[in-house]
Structure 1
Amino acid sequence: MSSTELPRTQGVPQTPPAAPQSDDSVTVRHVALQGATLVVRRRTPEREGLEPAVYVHGLGGSALNWTALAGELAGRVDGEAIDLPGFGHSPPPDDGDYSITGHSRAVIRYLDAARRGPVHLFGNSMGGAVVTRVAALRPDLVRTLTLVSPALPELRPQRSAVPTALLAIPGSGSVFLRLTKDWTPERRTGAVLALCYGDPARVSPEGFAEAVTEYERRLTLPYHWEVMERSARGIVDAYTLGGQHGLWRQARRVLAPTLLVYGARDRLVSVRMARKAHRSFPDSRLLVLPRAGHVAMMEYPRVVARAFGDLLAERGGS
């Protein structure tokens, strides 16, 4: 991806609605960094002294994507999930840079500012590419790396992933809205879940209702489609990078013990890439879930948590 900074949209309000309120199990705060403000959700750990963890979501996601896994791991790590710039409740970055490098820079700045590192770093999809770059560039910040369906370059992407790649085309958001103008919020949300889940029936009625509310909220944000289009373009551009900036080259530079989680029913990141990832990350373990789709940490959080616990046990952690 070129490091050229993209201009912000002029005359468009850039501040999203206030972040959701904290409760007894989760605290939510805004963290001001150089060039960006991140909303961070911290799951209250079950005891003091646990090692820190940071969760990074994928394209179109938010910190909420990690709620189930963070709950499973509350007795193992002191976890924080971040909304990347422009996603969830975080406002867009000042420079309008939504490349993998731009998102990685935001994560690094947060980890430096928080002074909690090294952390157990988790990433899903686009977030997996982001944290791979973080781990390669700043090994001092990473204890372990857990990647759930990471968006690493594929020579032959699955046909079902093509519509997502088309988001990289400028104006694709307005085309989507015209094509789906007669869709109900439930139908829109159902289409997203069908793309991401191996079995959408695993989503509870309460979870589906929450997903509908969150998706409709995002569609009201004036910068929503700009963020989606530019972030999708950032993924596509990262796939074309060669040399030392290529994601597979950077995967080989990762020093941290790495857990790779793939879903056999993933329609966005092919399970065919699992073996290549296992060969590329020098110190890696591979978990393939036969019924999972693109978001195994949401579909099978207990299984993913158990695999992470095994990783901790191997390195002598808590």
Structure 2
Amino acid sequence: MPKDMRQGAETNWQVIGEGERPALAIHCMLGSGEMWTPVLAPLGAQTSATTFDLPGHGKSAPWTPETVEPGAYQRLAAQIAASFIERPVDLIGHSFGASVALRIAVAAPEAVRSLTLVEPVLFKAAEGSAEWQELRPHQDHLDELMQTRQYEEAARRFMRAWGTGQEWDTLPPHQRARFIAQMEIVANVTPSNFDDPGQITREGGMEQIDAPVLLVYGDRSPPISARVCEAIAARLPDVGTACVPGAGHMLPLTHAQQLTDLIALNLDRS
């Protein structure tokens, strides 16, 4: 796997497939680029998909922020992702990675051939909805845990809501330690999800995306997931949505084949 400097951050990346169509896939918070391999490898005759480890994830260097500005991490992630785009790509993102992908598509719609967003966590899009109001107290408690540096309990609660469903105490110790260490990143990302400092939801932004968009969520995900997808879809000119039965938030890990098939459908639309 290559590793080089991207936007001042040592970044690990790989290419999956040898197809003619360039693709770029962005992973979720607390994940890694390798998560995309079972999803994208079956499309390898059609696409050459670049995946990379976000700062502080996988084999990329730890995140050493130059600023504590809320949302700084999302901006850096978008800049790193954009550095891999040389011509219009099939852009794919999961969770936090889906929000980053949408930020790129809003900023540079001409750079996107198709856009697949899996469980985007851009909660700002559904602000004020019943699902948002249900989520907010849980997030407030998580924020308090992170502000008081109770990172282990914060990681436990985060994984309970947004993980694969595996019990915290059954995770290998090295994984628990890594998730605990990454809670500082989660703390910086939270304002990106709720307040949208990157202005992804600004008036007229999403409406300029003319590439085919597919929004995917699981029927066992937190209710806010479906509401966010619905809110984003309502603003896009060429969009489809898909609900995967039996799936929670971590679709790339738990329902890789179904996700591969859905991405393939969106590729065919472009």
Asked whether 1:229 is paired with 2:218, we answer no
Q: What's the TM-score, normalizing by structure 1? A: 0.69
Counterpart CA distance in 2 for 1:32 and 1:269 is 36
Asked whether 1:196 is paired with 2:162, we answer yes
| Match 1:256 to one of 211, 217, 224 | 211
Q: CA offsets per residue over residues 238-281 of structure 1, 9 Å max, x none?
A: 1xx5xx92426432232221111011211273323333222212
* Structure 1 alignment gaps of length 5 or more: 1-27, 181-187
Asked whether 1:286 is paired with 2:241, we answer yes
Cα pair 2:19 2:46 within 8 Å, conserved = no
Cα pair 1:173 1:225 within 8 Å, conserved = no
Cα pair 1:143 1:256 within 8 Å, conserved = yes
Q: Within 5 Å, which residues of 2 pair with 1:139-154?
A: 139-152=109-122, 153=124, 154=126
Aligned to 1:280, what secondary structure does the other structure show? coil
Computing the radius of gyration from Cα coordinates, the structure with the larger value is 1
**What's the C-alpha RMSD, in Å, of the aligned pairs?**
3.3
Asked whether 1:107 is paired with 2:73, we answer no
Counterpart CA distance in 1 for 2:75 and 2:54 is 9
- Give the counterpart letter for 1:38 in structure 2: T
| Cα separation, partners in 2 of 1:226 and 1:96, compared to 1, 3 Å | farther
1:218 counterpart residue number: 178
- Give the counterpart letter for 1:151 in structure 2: V
Q: Bigger shift: 279-288 or 292-301?
A: 292-301
**Would you say how many aligned residue pairs link Structure 1 and Structure 2?**
262
- Give the counterpart letter for 1:37 in structure 2: E
Asked whether 1:245 is paired with 2:202, we answer no
| Cα separation, partners in 2 of 1:175 and 1:94, compared to 1, 3 Å | closer
2:91 counterpart residue number: 121
| Cα separation, partners in 2 of 1:289 and 1:106, compared to 1, 3 Å | closer
Identity %: 23
Asked whether 1:95 is paired with 2:66, we answer yes
1:37 counterpart residue number: 10
Counterpart CA distance in 2 for 1:68 and 1:161 is 33
Deviation at 1:127, TM superposition (A): 1.5
Cα pair 1:57 1:127 within 8 Å, conserved = yes
Counterpart CA distance in 1 for 2:177 and 2:159 is 16
- Give the counterpart letter for 2:161 in structure 1: L
Cα pair 1:65 1:298 within 8 Å, conserved = yes
Counterpart CA distance in 1 for 2:228 and 2:77 is 27
Q: What's the TM-score, normalizing by structure 2? A: 0.79
Counterpart CA distance in 1 for 2:88 and 2:224 is 28
Stretches of 4+ moved more than 3 A in 1? Answer: 96-102, 104-112, 158-173, 191-194, 211-214
- Give the counterpart letter for 2:264 in structure 1: G
Counterpart CA distance in 2 for 1:61 and 1:302 is 19
Q: CA offsets per residue over residues 56-110 of structure 1, 9 Å max, x none?
A: 1222222233232123322331112222223333221552467556534543444
| Cα separation, partners in 2 of 1:101 and 1:76, compared to 1, 3 Å | farther
- Give the counterpart letter for 1:227 in structure 2: I
Counterpart CA distance in 1 for 2:139 and 2:32 is 17
| Cα separation, partners in 2 of 1:313 and 1:164, compared to 1, 3 Å | same
